[in-house]
Structure formats: structure tokens, C-alpha cells
Structure 1
């Protein structure tokens, strides 16, 4: 164990003893005693008072976002009931009615982009030298360029973020290939290492190459078997598919987002603003309607893809590790907060940063130690908040508590792949250099991307 971890654990132990000696406060609602820890929210586990002081419902949001949350809430509950009782556990063959609707609506959206190009060509050729027709043609070409389907780019939040290929990290890629094979797909071409408490897969370029983005703030707080579950979940997205991520449907959704941005109403402070708002009202509401139609056809499939990705995680790592991963995801805010504290300490030379000439040394170990020290009553609160908020944050993901409950109801099964200490250490050695590079970038720049 490194000196950094030992010092962090000593501080946490002191704080924990102070909390234990604190007699707590009386709940104003049910008068039960509540533990008091100055690092976390004071709440009552008996009646739930103050479990979510910020409120279960998000503030603001467009009409589209609110409609998405309503649909997502309904679909999430329905899918949980179907999958938990085995009435919809298998992947359906073919697109289905919703899939056909999504493809048709996407064709309409992309068709409009083609119409802009054709109309622009007509104005350019037929109206060359005649007034402003060529100018309008150029404007139409500009709109078409904004709305065109994109093949995607490699997701990097900075040009100096490490990008690993097979020759750079053979042990890591061997693990990725084995996990991918266990869930019925192929591995990735590159791995991008970043600082955030998240992980994701994507495709990019004309050849649709595959990329895994691995956030060190998440990777560092996971046990080896939980890491296997994380990879199984991410590769499950490739194995089961998600129409909202596809080039055709995903491109249509991005085009609609662009239309919504272009047609967004002005503040209406002047007569001209009001005139433009009236002029764009019909196309604006048309775009809103088409967006909701495409959401209706794809949101259920997107949430189903998440549930099936969880099944992939349970298949390769075991249901217990997959359920444990769900618990860890509830604590990602603690990992993010720990990273922010370290960045502040690095810039002020206080706290953890004062222990090292280079504050990047041991950064991920310290974040892991601080996250592991989150007390049980705070973890219980985070589970309660997940149930209260449900779909209020992300419409494309089922609520974490439903995902966890489904995994907990799964039949016990052995893991297809067990990441032992020797192999886990080999993978860590592959990631040590890139992780240190990311740590130095974060400490230098003072932000996590």
C-alpha cells in the first residue's frame, strides 16, 4: 500500500471516529436520531427526511426534454416488469414496428437534407448570374452541411489525451478481446484514457472503427471483477445494438437537434424578434413533433439496450459483480468530488497535494481511498435518491435502482471470466503510464474536461 493511501486512510479514520462520537441530531419529522457527518448530507433513514435536498425533479428543461423524461419513466417501468419476469428476455429478431417507424422517420429527416442540396444545385445552375439566387444556393448548401449525417470522430477532450492501440497495451487489449468474445462481439481498435468517472464505447470514421473511452476516476474505484462487469456492459452495447447510436437514426436525431437550435425562438424583445418567432413557429413545432415521433420509436429500444448490456455484464463477470458495479456507480459523485478536491489542493498546495512534490503521483489511489471511505449511511442515501429521481436525469438509461434490482433478482451464476490478481496487475501496468499522463494533465490544467 502506498504512503498516499495510508495517509488518506488515516485522515478518513480520524474523521470517522469523530462522526462515531457525535451523538447525531433528532429528525424534525419522526424524531429518530440521525448520524451527522460534516462531509455528507444529514438525513433520516427511518422516514427519508432530507434524503434528496436538491429535489427529485430537475429544474427547467425544454418541452422535448420533459416529454422524453415522461416517456422514459413509463418505458423503464414496463421493461423492468417484462425482463424481470422473463416475458421479454430475448432479443427480438428484426426491427419491429418501432424500428421500422424509426427508420422511416429518419429517412424523412435525411430526405429533407437531400432536398436542400438539390434545391441549392438548381438555384446555382439555373440562376447563375441572376440576382441573389446563387447566394441562396450557398446558404442552402451551408444548412445541408450542418444537417448531414456524420461518421463521428474519436472522442477526445484534449489533443494530448492518451490513445492506446494494441501494441501500446497488450494485456489490456487481451482482456478487452476476451470480454468482447464472451458477450458475442469483437473488441475495440483504440482506448482513450481520460480523467472522468465514466466509461463509454463509440464508433468513428468512415470505416466505423471502435473506441473505448476509459475514465480513470471510475476505473480506479472498481474491484477487478467489477472492472470486468464494466467492460461487459460497454461491449454489450455493441453486441445488442442501440438504434439511437446508429449512423442512420443517430444522425437523424443530431439533425433534428440542429434544426431545433436553428429554429429556437428569440427572446422577443423587439418587434423584429417577434416577427421572426411567428415566421418560424410552424417549422419549429413541426421539428418538435418529428423529434417526439422519433423519440417514441427509439427510447424504449435505448433503455432495453441498457438492460441487455447489464445482462452482458452479469454473463461475463457474474450477477454479483454486475450488481456491485451498480452500487459503485451511485458513488461516482464522491469520486468526482475527490478529484475536484485534489485539483484544488494542487493549485493551492494544500491537503493531499502538499504530501508530494508532484501532486499527480498517487492521484488515482487517493481518489479510490476517499471513495471507499464513503460511509454506509451515505451509500444508503444515494440508493434512496436513485429511487426518488428515477428518470429525471437521463431519459436513455433506466433508473439505476431498477437495474440493480433486476440484477439482484437474477439466478446466481458463475462468472465466465475471472480477473485474478496477477492478470489485474498486468493490466494496471499497461495503464500506469497513460493514467499518470492524465493525472498530470488534470493537475496542470485544473479541470477534468
Structure 2
């Protein structure tokens, strides 16, 4: 007989069909134990190989499927066959990184909650702005790699970054930094956390709440670190699976929307002094300043991420933030003083205004709407590229597999639809084709 031919394929990361769901689960189970795979998965895979080989042999001898099932009965091989059904194990493996310091920095101590007593004060706007940084950068998911800011590239590392914690936490420790709240009390910057204590690699996950995406509060705008890259999209409350197990938490150091008791637990970071900044300065305080400025809208001043050595980018971003507060003269010289530092640390004042193409001094004018007819299959033009780049910048580029281009395609339509649905629109108002209001909001 002719041996069967098996073709391997890469499952789509967001395809809901049974085949892709099952393949994603099997690929996750294929992780080594060292990389966070589940021990049971390796036994199941070995049994599956045996069953597959046995199936080919049985076919060669003419034994029917019914006879093979009768022979396997309740054996391990039969159990392995059972794991092939997508509906028996819908949750992919979610390997976890452990609590630890920021990459490249020494540990602050053996206790997993060593930083709870020195929380950094932040605002909801600052949390969301920090979350958007990874969305815009399309940070790849990894439980072993670290982004340039020192945070681990998994879901809990992402929340650690957004909450501006002084180390990398995991789903088993993040609750220490928050106060449990009811889902009805959720506000932007809060999180929805599911930690599976019996097997943390089985379904444990955490997302950042970005606001309700519909008036029924059945969906919300979730910022999350997941494969393949960081994304932000409308998500059913509380998640696609294990929904009932997710718990809402509010960061203890957030300003606004929390009780006085919670606010009292947060201690602001003291101003390190004027000597820590300016030409020749080289310290972690400069990096901290740069990151806070990026979170407040100053990212376009940096060609690379903020670093410890003082640069013209630091001065320009600081000056832009100072001028955004209405300060002039010596109060807006680009060198942070106590007031500038306090505004940044506590999330006070106004953010740095956006500039066209990310250039200081550029025009803030919104491009004119070219007309709905320009966004149809087969149409091509600069406005399509402009639309695509804006979608990516706003965090709605999940469906692009390459950089946005001039030819209108299904990826453009699906990304526009995601943006429209995030506004709470449904039906014909969320058909994926940009109208004047979609354009206005997208470029606002």
C-alpha cells in the first residue's frame, strides 16, 4: 500500500477553527520541560506517535477502525487518541517566567514582594500610554527574552512594565501589587488576572483593561502580551476562555479612582537632584526620566529607547513636556527640576502633544478625508498607506503580516473594523470601511 503523506502547517494565531485551535495546543505542548512545557504533554506525544504507527500497521493488515477502537479500549493509546479532540483541552500551555529584577539589574532581594512597600505612583493615562508602547513596537512574545526596557516579554512582564514595577513579576505575584475590585468597578489601567495555582502553565494569563468597547459591558478593550506580538483589541469579558476565573485588580499606586487607603500605600520616587541631569550625566535616573517622558508622549524624540547617558533627545523631550504645562523661560529649559519630576512621577499635568510624522515642531493638522470610495477592493493610493500606518500606530495592526501598503486589502478592512468596534459601533457602522467619523477619530 502507499504510505500516507503528512503535511505540516503553521496554524493562524487568531483562527478560531478546530484545526488551528488544535494545532496551536499541540505546538504549545511540544515545548521542552526546560522551556516551560507540561510534563504530561511529553507522555501524550509519545503515546500519540505509537498510536499513529499502530494505525498505519492496522490499515496495512486490513483491520477496520471499529476493531482498532475495541482493541485500545481504556489503554494509554486510547487516551492519547482522546487528546486529539480540540474540545477536550481547549486551553493552550502558557509557560511562565518567574519573579525577578529588570534585565541587567541586580536582584533587590529574595522576597517575591520586595517592592510592594515602595510602589511608584502613576496615573491611569500613564499606564495605558506605557501599554501602547509595546503595541506600537509589536514586541514578540517570549518568556525568556527581555525588551530594551528590561521587562520580560510575556503577559506578566507586560503588566509589570505598564504598572512601572521595579521588577518582573508573574501571574502568581501580580495580585500583591493590586487591590481586588469588582468587575463593575473596572477602569483603564486595571487588570484582569487568571492564575491557575494547580498548574500555572495551564491557562494562566493577565490582560490590561483599556475601557468598555460596547454599551452592554460584554466586551472591553484589552491590552495583552500574547503570541505572536503585543496586541490591543476588543475582547469578551473577561477572556475567550476561563472567563469566570479572571479576577479584577487595581494597582495600589494608581492616582485617581481608588480609595485613600490604597493611595496611602504608594510612595512617590524622590527627585534625585539637578546634578543627575544635563550634559555628561550618566545614570539610571536619566533612563527613568526618559521612560516617563516616552509614556507621556515624548517617544518621537528618541531614535532609540531612553538610556542612562544624557542626550539631546532627553533635553528636547523634557522641554516639550515643560512647555505642555504652559511653562516658559527658565521653567522650560529642558532640564528637569523638582516640579517637572513630580508631574512625571505622579502623572500630573498635560501630555506632550503629538506632532506630524513624529517630528518636533511638525503640524498637528489631520489629513483630509479622501472619501469612502477610495477604500475598496482593487483601489490603491497613498491614503491607503497613510491609513494603515495610522492603524498600526494606534494599536490596530494585528491583521497585517507585512508593513501597510498602498493597495487596499482584507487586512486593512479587518483592522479598520477592529478600530470601529472599539468605539462601540456595530452593524454597518463597523463594516471595516472608513467613513468621515472613523477617519476623524483615527487621526484625532
TM-score, length-normalised on structure 2?
0.25
TM-score, length-normalised on structure 1?
0.25
Q: Which has the higher contact order (CA 8 A, sep 6+)?
A: 1
